[in-house]
A and B are shown apart, each in its own frame.
Chain A
């Protein structure tokens, strides 16, 4: 089979790239491959399926009509197992080969299983695919208890979801002695931790898992130097790694597939975007994984532009400057985490402790679950955390990415970040689209 554009993966990065390609090239043959035998969906929705917040049948992001209307060939249930970048040929698990002109690897990541003795041999759950979510829900129907490994987003969401189904819950951390350490600081993590404890989830952050055994449909999870927990199911959410085992050495990888600011890999005509890609860091030199939904669709868009856009027009547009990011500005950590009726978000640098060169403004109300942290570097916001505070996360995100120097506005921003954020928005990036009068 031949195709001009080949996209491996059908979540946000892949879908975004396909849309962007069609903006520039309405006719070039476009093929999208998903290893799962269903319509495209987002792994981000899976925790909510476990929590019962949405029915699994309605969460698909595209239907057959979309692919037909946009002349995209969508191949389900096929996996990329081989990539010959010199011959521009992709080999699938059914033995077939696809010749392409340009390929985008948007295969996302797969859960890592920690080297806990006995874990791999035991029946455990992960939460990365729709099948995983449905399996968890099925097991939870009969289970009376569960142990969740990992205090990252997957672990926390799974713990809340299963607790709400009435299971007795134990939540054990992974490597780091913190709750959601990738996004929140220690103070925020503590607040979140307490809310989970208040809802009856056992979570002693001093405990780490020692080993796992299974037999007769039950499991035993032994805490290192600690008690043994009898449980009906184990869910592992201790991290993910980029899905890139099919790549030859001519595509450079680190923790992910290394890409430049147009999402190009080291191999010609090969792009990568989304959770699988390791791209520029907004705050520092070097390249990082930034497995965040909004980053995935942005990277996908840039990849699509790079694959199908007119290079002369791109260069000309970049020269005159413009509001849209035509190249990747670097990854900024960002997330929302809503738990037990509380809402929280974190963007940018959360920073532990005092760091010279940064100015930190913290508001922590005692007794409740309200927390606000703003991190500045020379009047420019570089990070923000909010738990149950009123702020526009997207506005805050733009203040960080556009490196808006607040000057004297900083004083008011710290007191009323919601209103002042909006004022700064009008001043800096909304006002510019007004018609000149």
Chain B
């Protein structure tokens, strides 16, 4: 059974050598102000300006474990942390000879070796690191939870190398499970053979290929039918932005207004990518597409995109949320909420999905593009639940990175000048203002009610 572990991530380029991590570690581990007790070490150079934390990396195949003559070091199979057994340790220090990373070190004050143990899963050093050089990543819990669920898509889907949609849909179906009927309207999903080829579906659940215009209607009908015969089947739509925002919007809006019990996921790659990268209603201003090319007359899409998430917020849905696979834990939490909400009413999840082919960036940057989109507030992550009347941002929108950090990653924006970038910035800022206004007015309304 493959396994994944929570990780203490180290970003040396963000370290400023402040040493707060050492102080925190010595305090929690030895109740001392002497940083000789710190399991994490900061590098102090004489001449070169470099800082970096040095700490045990909890190796997958630890040299220290292999080299301990008494078996005092073991890798905990649950947490992945390499732990030492004091009763078995003879202080031979061969482990310090085996470790290539300075992860286990001799502490002259106690006369024995010591190493990081993640503070049981809540590292103190991470709490005091102001620059973000130390991060505790618990995304592995997602892996552990989901790996036991079956991947309900078949193998050999013909997606582009670096396609984010494939990550997205495989995760989604694992989570939502087999009591599901899937709507996959024209777009990349059927395009990679999910609805079938050679007489078999590319999925292990019943899948149908609705028209681009009637996805939500079909989903609604199927859900109503199953309910009538006494079965609680999830009616799931995995639609592209074409099937959600443009020609599919009429049926989507109607289904939402009627409160149909379906889970509608919009995979937003900001264009009709399957048919040759044509523009859609969600294509951002200035994007190159095959129908908004760049030349002397036109410099990409001349109009700004509409915001589907904002539009759906106005439809009295049970749940509306935005998500990204780069924030996988958040994505699964929202899938869970949306899934549960779809039993009571209409649930809409808008997932940002970069397209390596249509947006023109190297396939191995799919996740990084999403990180930047969120970090620059180009695509804020939030959710709204009607049951609680709560709207909240699930990722901080304070102190965003400059939008240029996102724009420069994409070939489709390569031609943009300063003026165009300003328009994109203005649009993102206005959208965020609207969202914040929505949030605070909900807040006011609930306070007034109580």
Most buried by A among B12, B45, B102, B105: B102
Distance, CA A416 to CA B63, complexed state (A): 25
* Interface hit among B92-100, B301-309, B427-435: B92-100
The 6 A-B pairs of least Cβ separation, nearest first, read A44-B69, A42-B69, A48-B90, A394-B99, A392-B102, A393-B97
Known A-B contacts A347-B97, A422-B41; A394 and B102 likewise in contact (beta carbons under 8 Å):
yes
- The reply on A240 being an interface residue by CB < 8 A is no
Contact: B111 with A394, CB < 8 Å? no
Bound Cα distance A409, B93 (Å): 27
Task: Let me know if B400 is at the binding interface, CB within 8 A.
Answer: no
Minimal beta-carbon separation of A37 from chain B (angstroms): 19
Tell me, yes or no, whether A248 is within 8 Å of chain B by CB. no
Q: Are B71 and A61 in contact (CB under 8 A)?
A: yes
Q: Is the CB of A415 within 8 A of B70?
A: no
Determine the chain B residues whose CB is within 8 A of the CB of A60 once the complex forms.
71
Bound complex: CA A12 to CA B65 (Å): 11
Residue of A nearest to B89 (CB): A54
The answer to whether residues A54 and B90 also contact, given A45-B69, A59-B70, A60-B71 and a CB cut-off of 8 A, is yes
What range describes how many residues of A lie at the interface?
A: 35 or more
Known A48-B70, A53-B90; 7 more pairs at CB < 8 Å: A42-B70, A58-B70, A294-B98, A343-B106, A343-B108, A423-B43, A430-B101
Distance between B262 CB and nearest chain A CB, rounded to angstroms:
38
The stretch of A92-100, A132-140, A206-214, A334-342 that contacts the partner chain: A334-342
Are A336 and B94 closer than 8 Å at their CB atoms?
A: yes
Which residue of B47, B66, B88, B100 is within 8 Å of A398 (Cβ)? Answer: B100
Q: What's the Cα separation between A425 and B41 when bound, in Å?
A: 13
Find the A residue at minimum CB distance from B98: A294
Query: Within the assembled complex, what's the spacing in Å between the Cα atoms of A437 and B41?
Result: 24
Contact of A394 among B69, B92, B100 (CB under 8 A): B100
**Which residue of A has the minimal Cβ distance to B371?**
A437
Which residue of B46, B52, B69, B91 is within 8 Å of A293 (Cβ)? B69
Check A426–B90 contact: CB distance below 8 A.
Answer: no
Cα A226 to Cα B45 in complex, Å, equals 55
Contact with B along A325-354 (1 / 0, CB 8 A): 000000000111010010101010000000
Whole-angstrom distance between the alpha carbons of A424 and B69 in the complex? 29
Residues on the A chain within 8 Å of B207, using CB: none
CA gap between A421 and B96 in the complex, in Å: 14
Q: Do B97 and A294 have beta carbons less than 8 Å apart?
A: yes
Partner of B100, one of A51, A54, A334, A425: A425
Query: Do B88 and A393 touch across chains, with their CB atoms under 8 A apart?
Result: no
Evaluate contact between B106 and A426: CB separation under 8 angstroms.
no
Contact of B368 (CB < 8 Å), options: A48, A293, A335, A437: A437
B71 near A336 (CB under 8 angstroms)? no
Total interface residues on B, CB under 8 Å, equals: 37
A411 nearest in chain B by CB position: B47
Which among B63, B96, B111 has the highest number of chain A CB atoms within 10 Å? B96
A420 at interface (Cβ–Cβ under 8 A)?
A: yes
Q: Which B residues have a C-beta under 8 Å from some C-beta of A?
A: 12, 41, 43-48, 50, 52, 54, 63, 66-67, 69-71, 87-94, 96-102, 105-106, 108, 111, 368
Cβ contacts under 8 Å, B92 to chain A: 44, 48, 336, 338
Q: Which residues of A contact B90 (CB under 8 A)?
A: 45, 48, 51, 53-54
| From B12, B66, B88, B96, contact of A392 by CB (8 A) | B96
Are the C-beta atoms of A297 and B66 separated by less than 8 Å? Answer: yes
| Known A394-B99, A422-B52: A53·B91 in contact at CB below 8 Å | yes
Q: Chain B residues with Cβ under 8 A from A246's Cβ?
A: none
Asked if A431 is at the interface (CB within 8 A of a chain B CB), the reply is yes
- In the complex formed, the residue of A with least CB distance to B48 is A423
A residues with a Cβ closer than 8 A to B are 12, 16, 42-45, 48, 51, 53-55, 58-61, 293-294, 297, 334-336, 338, 341, 343, 345, 347, 390, 392-395, 397-398, 409, 412, 415-416, 419-423, 425-426, 429-431, 434, 437
Cα A392 to Cα B66 in complex, Å, equals 18
**Minimal Cβ-Cβ distance residue in B for A295:** B67
Which residue of chain B lies nearest to A393 when distances are taken between CB atoms in the complex?
Answer: B97
Q: Which residues of A contact B89 (CB under 8 A)?
A: 54
Cα(A389)–Cα(B97), bound, Å: 14
Nearest CB in chain A to that of B97: its residue: A393
Instruction: Among A12, A341, A426, find the residue whose CB has the most chain B CB atoms closer than 10 A.
Output: A426
One of B44, B66, B97 near A336 (C-beta < 8 A): B97
Looking at the assembled complex, report how far the CB atom of A344 sits from the nearest CB atom of chain B, in whole angstroms: 9
A426 in contact with B98 (CB, 8 Å): no
Tell me if B94 and A294 are in contact (CB < 8 A): yes
Contact B45 A54 (CB under 8 A): no
Q: Which residues of the other chain, B, contact A409 by a CB distance below 8 angstroms? A: 48
Are the CB atoms of B101 and A425 closer together than 8 Å?
Answer: yes
Q: Return chain B residues, CB-CB under 8 Å to A335.
A: 97
Q: Which residues of A contact B67 (CB under 8 A)?
A: 12, 293-294, 297
Q: How far is the CA of A394 from the CA of B63 in the complex (A)?
A: 10
CA gap between A398 and B97 in the complex, in Å: 10
Which among B87, B89, B100, B368 has the greatest number of chain A C-beta atoms within 10 A?
A: B100
Q: Are B100 and A397 in contact (CB under 8 A)?
A: yes
Query: Which B residues lie within 8 Å of A426 (CB)?
Result: 12, 43, 50, 52
Q: Please measure, in the bound complex, the distance between the C-alpha atom of A260 and the C-alpha atom of B50, giving whole angstroms.
A: 41
Establish whether residues A422 and B87, one from each chain, have CB atoms under 8 Å apart when the complex forms: no
- Give the CA-CA distance A415 to B44 in the complex, in Å: 12
Q: How far apart are the CA atoms of A48 and B69 in the complex, in Å?
A: 10
A-B contact pairs, 26 of them (CB 8 A): A16-B66, A43-B69, A44-B94, A54-B70, A54-B88, A54-B90, A55-B87, A60-B71, A293-B67, A294-B66, A294-B67, A294-B94, A336-B92, A336-B97, A338-B91, A393-B97, A394-B102, A395-B101, A397-B100, A412-B46, A412-B48, A416-B46, A421-B102, A422-B43, A423-B52, A425-B100
Supposing A60-B71, A431-B12 touch, asked if A419 and B43 sit within 8 A by C-beta, the answer is yes
How near does chain A come to B60, taking the closest CB pair, in angstroms? 12
Return A56 CB to nearest CB of chain B, in Å.
Answer: 10
A88 to chain B, nearest CB (A): 29
Contact A419 B100, beta carbon cutoff 8 Å: no
Are A412 and B97 within 8 A (Cβ)? Answer: no
Residue of A nearest to B111 (CB): A341
Of chain B, the residue at the smallest CB distance from A60 is B71
Query: Which chain B positions have C-beta within 8 A of A434?
Result: 12
Q: Which of A16, A423, A429 has the most CB of B within 10 A?
A: A423
Contact check, A422 vs B97: say whether CB atoms are below 8 A apart: no
A45 and chain B: residue at smallest CB distance:
B69
Residues on A with C-beta less than 8 A from B52 are: 422-423, 426
Interchain CB contact under 8 A, A393 and B96: yes
For residue B372, give the distance in angstroms from its CB to the closest CB of chain A. 10
Q: Which residues of B contact A347 (CB under 8 A)?
A: 97
Report the minimal beta-carbon distance from A323 to chain B, rounded to whole angstroms: 10
Q: Contacting A58 at CB < 8 Å: which of B46, B88, B94?
A: B88
Partner of A397, one of B48, B54, B88, B97: B97
**Which residues of chain A are within 8 angstroms of B43 by Cβ–Cβ distance?**
419, 422-423, 426
Give CA–CA (A235, B69) in the complex, Å.
22
B147 to A: closest C-beta gap in Å = 19
Please report the C-alpha to C-alpha distance between residue A297 and residue B63 in the assembled complex, in whole angstroms: 9
**Among A293, A415, A422, A423, contact of B94 (Cβ-Cβ < 8 Å):** A293
Smallest CB-CB separation from B50: which chain A residue?
A423
